Structure 1
């Protein structure tokens, strides 16, 4: 089911959680299950701490200290959003946030 994505108020955007897609300006962007889980955390429009993203990535496993894997997924998501002038900005030792590139 499509829902408005208010995070991108400067774009016409909708999201479909069931199919793990984001539709921006009538262009479909598909995400893997893991990518979409991380993206949903970022769609709240706030800085998302590394710990929160790592827990989502490793689904509450004890060994959720692997930042390199998190960086890899963020890079994948970033590349899919970049064509729409959306960036995932890394805030050193804190977390990530979605921003407009403009």
Structure 2
């Protein structure tokens, strides 16, 4: 997976649009809520991000059971929106999440 930071954060052919809170993957543009965008954007480098770091970056709060439940629900919605694009948000059990090309 290659990121092109000079052209606006890309994975493969994924482009990030902060103003519209959207990602474009190939010919598909996916609109996200502001929270979904912050969560997904936090994963853009293709490295695992801890639950605690995601809570801080996306929600500006500390991690607890309630925040984790909310985060999991948002990630599920993001996964639904990404379905069929070739990109997937993977769970790294007991650690956090990771954005990578979908394994078929």
Give the TM-score taking structure 1 as reference length: 0.82
CA distance, structure 2, for counterparts of residue 56 and residue 73 of structure 1: 14
Structure 1 gaps of 5+ residues are none
1:80 corresponds in structure 2 to: 81
CA distance, structure 1, for counterparts of residue 52 and residue 84 of structure 2: 28
1:71 corresponds in structure 2 to: 72
- Misfit runs of 4+, over 6 Å: none
Query: Per-residue displacement from partner, 1:30-87 (whole Å, max 9, x unpaired)?
Result: 0000000001101111001000111123313x5x312111100000111111210211
Please provide the CA RMSD for this pair: 1.6
Structure 2 gaps of 5+ residues are 1-6
| 1:4 Cα deviation after fit | 4.0
Count, aligned residues: 95
